Amino acid sequence: MDKFDCIVIGAGPAGLSAALTLGRARRNIAIFDNGTNRNRVTQASHGFLTRDGIKPQEFKDIAMKELQSYPSISIFHETVIEVDKDNQTDLFFVKTSNNASYMAEKILLATGIQEEFPLSQVKQYYGKSLFNCPYCDGWELRDQPLAVIAENSEHAIHLTKLLMNWSKDLIVFTNGHELSDQVRNVFESKKIKVYTSIIKNLLGDHGKLERIELESGETISRSGGFVVPRFYRPNQFAEQFNCQVDENGIIITDGNGRTTVPGVYIAGETEKAGPSSLMIAAADGFKAATSVNMDLTLERF
């Protein structure tokens, strides 16, 4: 079995940037990806300098092409299903869904996060007219009649305040959850309507939201909106390596991608199990890759 200097799991901006940095540092690395990046549902990605408005697949294709210039980078379009560390040799092993096994001195986890929505119909509109991040997609929905779908007071008030600068025409939907008196009073004072009824259906065409149907019988016109999902890691790789996790579910690192387990590094959204951005994830990947490279350098010098 070939031994890589480092295996990078995940080719989102975090993993791709880490791979590029390690390839340019002449490290013999493998990068694995299974095409489950959560932004694949969106038409255009915004805010990444020089790439504003790029399609997620095009972003990935350009980055993959850049990696191909470096002979020490191997790219695998495979799902990693198992990770393991041999404590005798300190080597890492990954197994893929094709039943292939690979070995490396270091492992870099960049597998991102996934979303669970308050109601399943959100999926039909997510990335087209319903979004999570105003910085990513607020501009495209500016001045439109928008829904704020948030199931608790903290999320509802935070997202509504934030969105005000993109559109003043906001209606809050809590999908059957009550808001605190304090938050309710704030919304009343700002004349922002709140519907606490359970959402029965989201109606629209080809991902373009048109109306929100409530169990109370009302139907409210909205042309798009923002939703607060629950974010989670798609695997337990960090836990399987015994990486320490804090009380908020964040993987503990040194701030430069090193986890508490020697040889295991982490980058991108998977570290905090929370959303960030393409730019932040790419920067995380760069930082983690320099940690991998520095540790290999010092160990071998």
Which residues contribute to the site for ligand FAD (CB under 6 A)?
9-15, 32-39, 41-42, 45-48, 79-80, 110-112, 126-127, 131, 133, 136-137, 234-235, 268-270, 275-279, 281
Least spacing, CB of residue 211 vs ligand FAD, in Å = 21
Cα gap 82→295, rounded to integer Å = 24
Quick one: 179 or 251, whose CB is closer to ligand FAD?
A: 251
Quick one: 12 or 263, whose CB is closer to ligand FAD?
A: 12
Quick one: 125 or 195, whose CB is closer to ligand FAD?
A: 125
Quick one: 186 or 279, whose CB is closer to ligand FAD?
A: 279
Least spacing, CB of residue 148 vs ligand FAD, in Å = 16
Q: Residues 240-243: contacts with CB within 8 Å, 24+ apart? A: 240/83, 240/84, 241/83, 241/85, 241/107
Cα gap 235→80, rounded to integer Å = 10
Quick one: 15 or 118, whose CB is closer to ligand FAD?
A: 15
Least spacing, CB of residue 13 vs ligand FAD, in Å = 5
Question: 288: closest CA among 77, 91, 110, 49?
Answer: 110
H-run or E-run covering 79 = none
- Residue 173: what are its φ and ψ, rounded to 5°? -120, 120
Q: How far is CA 148 from CA 100, 117, 132, in A?
A: 45, 13, 10
Least spacing, CB of residue 287 vs ligand FAD, in Å = 13
Which residues are 6's β-sheet partners? 29, 106
Least spacing, CB of residue 18 vs ligand FAD, in Å = 9
Residues 6+ apart with CB under 8 A from 228: 118, 132, 149, 150, 151, 155, 159
Quick one: 176 or 234, whose CB is closer to ligand FAD?
A: 234
192 phi-psi bin (left φ>0, alpha ψ -120 to 50, beta other): beta
Quick one: 43 or 221, whose CB is closer to ligand FAD?
A: 43
Residue closest to ligand FAD, measured at CB:
12
Distance between start and end Cα atoms, the chain: 25
Least spacing, CB of residue 190 vs ligand FAD, in Å = 27
Least spacing, CB of residue 291 vs ligand FAD, in Å = 16
